[in-house]
Amino acid sequence: MKIAVVGTGYVGLVTGTCFAETGNTVTCVDIDSTKVNKLTNGEITIYEPGLEKLFLRNLKEDRLHFTTDLAAGIKDASIIFLALPTPPGEDGSADLKYILGVASQLGTLLKTDDYKVIIDKSTVPVGTAEKVNAAILESAKKAGVNLTGAFDVVSNPEFLREGVAVDDFMKPDRVVIGTSSEKAKKLMGDLYAPFVRQGNPVIFMDERSAELTKYAANSFLATKISFMNEVARLCELLGADVDMVRRGVGSDDRIGKRFLFPGIGYGGSCFPKDVQALVKSSNEVKYDFKILNAVMEVNETQKLHLFPKIKNYFKGDLKGKHFALWGLAFKPNTDDIREAPALYMIDALTAEGATVTAFDPEAMNNVKKTIGDKITYAENQYAALQGADALIIATEWNEFRTPDFLKIVSTLKNKTIFDGRNLFEVSAIRELGFHYESIGRAPSIIK
Ligand SMILES: NC(=O)C1=CN([C@@H]2O[C@H](COP(=O)(O)OP(=O)(O)OC[C@H]3O[C@@H](n4cnc5c(N)ncnc54)[C@H](O)[C@@H]3O)[C@@H](O)[C@H]2O)C=CC1
Ligand SMILES: O=C(O)[C@H]1O[C@H](OP(=O)(O)OP(=O)(O)OC[C@H]2O[C@@H](n3ccc(=O)[nH]c3=O)[C@H](O)[C@@H]2O)[C@H](O)[C@@H](O)[C@@H]1O
């Protein structure tokens, strides 16, 4: 099949590459000419494990192309994916200007005798497929063309996680397709058939249900995390160990082991914006989604849950203190720093007169572009420790899990660690003589 993917960010590039990998010819369109030039020349623009190899192979096989020209990009395609940003608008609802902007452009480019399926891959509020449909028809009408019947708009939300995006895309738990068109249903079923050979379902439904499925899934996962973060807070107050509670709770199949890890809050480009957008959508129909308001409130405070512990340890005065920070990305195996809890920690520390030297295996360039020399950057995790009064851990990169503690001891000024991801066993690290504080495992309680 010939496919166009409009928007070549995390989702667009993975989508385009993976569809090329199953033999389709894919053209990715992006307005960012720097990005398009790099990709055309074989330079990958995001860090995503396993992606580069597939990207280079399909580029070489001439199945993957990049352009800034929307008209040229969609000309031969029978399927057009929209993988465009849907950032929060001023009021927290999803801003559809990118999606509807491209939809209007498509209205002037589609032909009456060349049927195409337009797919919302972006996370969009309920009713967006109808809006995209109307925007295409309207701009065509202005140009004197009646496109009725020449296209269908389908909702096909994406559930991939950054860091494991290729695996998630190639072997999805499920594929959700919202469409009321039999023609589009057949095309989408054929397109996804190679990805569900192990029997994972392709679930067909109406457009609105598909749109809501995406928000409900992300919001449920965010709820699990905030719930466990509250359990962790309670553990600290009651003298329990959240890691034990997590294992005890997660062993029940009805609850499941995944997404129960407490920490310094959920970040990333999706959970924060999607939970907020679903609350907003609910408000628009006069429904008060009470649980989600609490989920957001817990997450806001959780991002700085370590901060009072740090301040308390330094007797309320952080002025002139210097911290080593391990981890900047919002989670491991990505260079994405959108809504990263580490950035909130940096703001809080520097606002109190402290200085920070950070190390992250992949995200330092993105942080430099955002906050520049507000902090300093180390070339490896141990160099970050030089002269620091304490180590703070914000992201659970694998290489932080079993570090060389002798090196830490010999480089840090004080044997003090504040761990936002519960990487170390409390008793073991105390035996090494560290003052160690983490989440949901109060030092005064766990012996
Ligand atoms: N990042 C993730 O892990 C996931 C994201 N999503 C959703 O997918 C959508 C896209 O997210 P990301 O890929 O993370 O965004 P992104 O910001 O990484 O990429 C968006 C791309 O669209 C391009 N773009 C903007 N306007 C354009 C236009 N008029 N024409 C062509 N290209 C244009 C940008 O230059 C950028 O390259 C969002 O709705 C997001 O919520 C869904 C599942 C996972
Ligand atoms: O819509 C999206 O963009 C995507 O959002 C999330 O994927 P992602 O944001 O890449 O990362 P997650 O692994 O879900 O982690 C999100 C945040 O939750 C935090 N988290 C996750 C799991 C956990 O147990 N505890 C926890 O604090 C992570 O540290 C991270 O900050 C969803 O998992 C994907 O299914 C979805 O497609």
Please indicate, yes or no, if residue 99 is contained in any of the structural domains: yes
pLDDT of 250 > 60? The answer is yes
Q: Scanning the structure block, which residue is given the tokens 């520049």? A: 372
**Does one domain contain both 285 and 405?**
no
Question: What is the predicted pLDDT for the residue at 442?
Answer: 66
Please indicate, yes or no, if residue 446 is contained in any of the structural domains: no
Please indicate, yes or no, if residue 442 is contained in any of the structural domains: no
**Does one domain contain both 297 and 307?**
no
123 lines ligand 1 (CB under 6 A): yes
218 lines ligand 2 (CB under 6 A): yes
**Does one domain contain both 368 and 236?**
no
Query: Percentage of residues in the chain with pLDDT exceeding 90?
Result: 97
Please indicate, yes or no, if residue 311 is contained in any of the structural domains: yes
**Does one domain contain both 220 and 185?**
no
Task: Assess contact for 2 and 71: CB atoms under 8 A.
Answer: no
- Main-chain phi, psi angles of 441, to 5 degrees: -140, 75
Please indicate, yes or no, if residue 445 is contained in any of the structural domains: no
Q: At 293, which CATH number?
A: 1.10.1040.10
Average pLDDT over residues 276-291: 97
**Does one domain contain both 92 and 189?**
yes
Token digits of residue 237? 């107050």
**Does one domain contain both 90 and 194?**
yes
Question: What is the predicted pLDDT for the residue at 92?
Answer: 86
d(CA 110, CA 91): 33
**Does one domain contain both 259 and 364?**
no
Residue of 18, 28, 235, 270 marked catalytic = 270
Please indicate, yes or no, if residue 443 is contained in any of the structural domains: no
Nearest residue (CA) to ligand 1, atom 22: 7
Q: In 3D, which of 44, 40, 42 has the Cα closest to residue 14?
A: 44
Listing DSSP states for 136-197 in one string gives HHHHHHHTT---TTSEEEEE------TTSHHHHHHS-S-EEEE-S-HHHHHHHHHHHGGG-T
d(CA 432, CA 426): 10
pLDDT of 445 > 60? The answer is no
Nearest residue (CA) to ligand 1, atom 26: 98
Interacting residues of 419 by C-beta distance below 8 A, sequence separation 6+: 392, 393, 436, 437, 438, 439
Q: Which ligand number lies closest to the CA of residue 102?
A: 1
- Phi and psi based region of residue 394 (left: phi greater than 0; alpha: psi -120 to 50; beta: remaining): alpha
112 CB neighbour count, 10 Å cutoff: 13
Which residue, 152, 177, 205, sits at the end of a domain?
Answer: 205
Q: Give the total number of structural domains in the chain.
A: 3
How high is the mean pLDDT of the chain?
Answer: 96
Question: What is the predicted pLDDT for the residue at 447?
Answer: 46
Q: At 394, which CATH number?
A: 3.40.50.720
Residue-level length of the chain: 447
**Does one domain contain both 151 and 70?**
yes
**Does one domain contain both 80 and 190?**
yes
Question: What is the predicted pLDDT for the residue at 423?
Answer: 97
Question: Which atom of ligand 2 lies at the shortest distance from residue 225's CA?
Answer: 25
Please indicate, yes or no, if residue 252 is contained in any of the structural domains: yes
Average pLDDT over residues 150-165: 97
Which residue, 270, 301, 332, sits at the end of a domain?
Answer: 301
Return the amino acid letter for 338. R
**Does one domain contain both 177 and 148?**
yes
Residues 339-395 pLDDT 10s: 999 999 999 999 999 999 999 999 999 999 999 999 999 999 999 999 999 999 999
Model confidence at 443, in pLDDT bands (50, 70, 90)?
A: low
pLDDT of 444 > 90? The answer is no
d(CA 332, CA 407): 23
Which residue, 301, 321, 344, sits at the end of a domain?
Answer: 301
Q: In 3D, which of 159, 135, 152 has the Cα closest to residue 206?
A: 152
Question: What is the predicted pLDDT for the residue at 446?
Answer: 47
Residues 195-227 pLDDT 10s: 999 999 999 999 999 999 999 999 999 999 999
For residue 384, give the DSSP letter: G
Model confidence at 70, in pLDDT bands (50, 70, 90)?
A: very high
d(CA 208, CA 60): 39
Ligand 2 pocket mutation, candidates 164, 230, 270, criterion most atoms within 8 A of CB: 270
**Does one domain contain both 245 and 315?**
no
**Does one domain contain both 320 and 430?**
yes
Please indicate, yes or no, if residue 173 is contained in any of the structural domains: yes
48 lines ligand 2 (CB under 6 A): no
Instruction: Quote the domain boundaries for residue 224.
Output: 215-301
